[in-house]
Amino acid sequence: MDMEKIDHVGIAVRNLQSSINIYKSLGMKVSDIEEIKEQKVNVAFIDIGKNRIELLEPTSPESAIAKFIEKKGEGIHHLAIRVKNLKTILAEYQERGIRLIDKTPRAGSHGLKIAFVHPKYTDGVLLELCEKA
Ligand code: CMX
C-alpha cells in the first residue's frame, strides 16, 4: 500500500484569525485562509520544514469541527497521511470491512482528494487519507 508521509496534523479552533495570530507570534509562517465548502470549514496551513499543521475553523454549526469543539474543546482533531491511489486503498479497506467515513474520495484543500477512516476503528484517532490530484 503506497503511503508517502504524514501530510499534516489538523487542529480545530474556534476563531481562525485569532489562532493565526497566535502561531505568527511564535514565529511561524501561516498561509492564506481557504474555504473548503464541502467540509464546512475555513483552513490555514503552517509550513514547518517539510511538515504542515492545518488550522480548521467551522463555518457552520453542522460542521464536524463545530461538533468536535462543542464536545471536546479546541485541539488536535486529525492526522492526515499522504497516499497514492486513494480510490484503490478505500476499495481494499471496504472489502476488509474497515469502518470508513468516506467510501469514495472527497474534495479537500489545495485540490487534494481526501477520505476519513472512522475514529472508532483506530482507537480514537481520526485518520485522513489524502492524495494529490
Ligand atoms: N477524533 C477522535 N474521535 C472523535 C473525533 C475526532 N476528531 N470526532 C468525533 N470523535 C468521536 C466522538 O468522541 C464519539 O465518541 P464516543 O461515542 O466515544 O463519545 C464518536 O467519535 C462519534 O462522534 P460524535 O460526536 O457523535 O460525532 P459524529 O458521529 O456526528 O461524527 C465523525 C464523528 C468523526 C464521524 C465526524 O466528525 C466526521 O465525519 N469527520 C470527518 C470529516 C471531518 O472531520 N471534516 C473536517 C475536516 C476537514 C478537512 O480536514 O479538510
* pLDDT tens, per residue, the chain with 133 residues: 789 999 999 999 999 999 999 999 999 999 999 999 989 999 999 999 989 999 999 999 999 999 999 999 999 999 999 999 999 999 999 999 999 999 999 998 888 999 999 999 999 999 999 999 8
Residue nearest to atom 4 of ligand 1 (CA): 119
* pLDDT confidence of residue 111: 87
User: Ligand 1: which of 31, 67, 99, 114 to mutate, most ligand atoms within 8 Å of CB?
Assistant: 67
For residues 2 and 36, give the distance between their C-alpha atoms in angstroms, rounded to a whole number.
Answer: 26
* pLDDT confidence of residue 110: 85
Q: What is the pLDDT of residues 71-97, one digit of tens each?
A: 999 999 999 999 999 999 999 999 999
> What one-character-per-residue DSSP string does 54-103 give?
EEEEESSTTSHHHHHHHHH-SEEEEEEEEES-HHHHHHHHHHTT--BS-S
**What is the distance, to the nearest Å, from the Cα of residue 46 to the centroid of all Cα atoms in its chain?**
13
Q: Under DSSP, is residue 33 helix (H, G, I), strand (E, B) or coil?
A: coil
* pLDDT confidence of residue 51: 93
Pocket of ligand 1 (CB under 6 A): 10, 36, 39, 41, 56, 64-65, 67-68, 71, 77-78, 101, 108-109, 116, 119, 124, 126, 128
* pLDDT confidence of residue 89: 97
**Closest ligand 1 atom to 40 CA:** 46
For residues 50 and 68, give the distance between their C-alpha atoms in angstroms, rounded to a whole number.
Answer: 28
